[in-house]
Amino acid sequence: MSTEEVKTEPKPVFKVASFQQNKNPNKKRAWKSLKQIITSERALPWPEDVIHYSSINAPPSFKPAEKFSDLSGLHAPYTDPQTRLRFANKEEYATLTDLPMDITAGYLALRGATSIVG
């Protein structure tokens, strides 16, 4: 083999030879809390029309809100017309029909829904 046949692979352009992963191996990495990250990102000079995750003016979602069962937490495609509680299957509906009104009102209060009368 001659020296012309042996080719070296070119270095990737994104690698910097002077980069060092950990300058001091004895020093632990300081982690920032989410509150610190949000505060530091708010201080950055963002343009007016930029929408980011901490912006209050973000547009509403086009997807409908997911509905979950008040009893089991499963995906609930059904709503009881009398009590307005959500349920996932017929067994849960049978349980909902036997619940007293104070417990039904409690489930609605947990979900943040209005009272049964309204």
pLDDT digits (tens, 9 = 90+) for 74-90: 999 999 999 899 999 99
Amino acid at 39: T
Domain residue limits, the chain: 65-113
Q: What is the pTM of this model?
A: 0.48
Q: Which residue has the higher pLDDT, 63 or 49?
A: 63
Position 60 scores a pLDDT of 80
Measured CA to CA, the distance from residue 106 to residue 68 in angstroms comes to 16
41/54 Cα distance (integer angstroms)? 9
Q: Using CA atoms, how far apart are residues 30 and 112, in angstroms rounded to an integer?
A: 39
The pLDDT of residue 56: 67
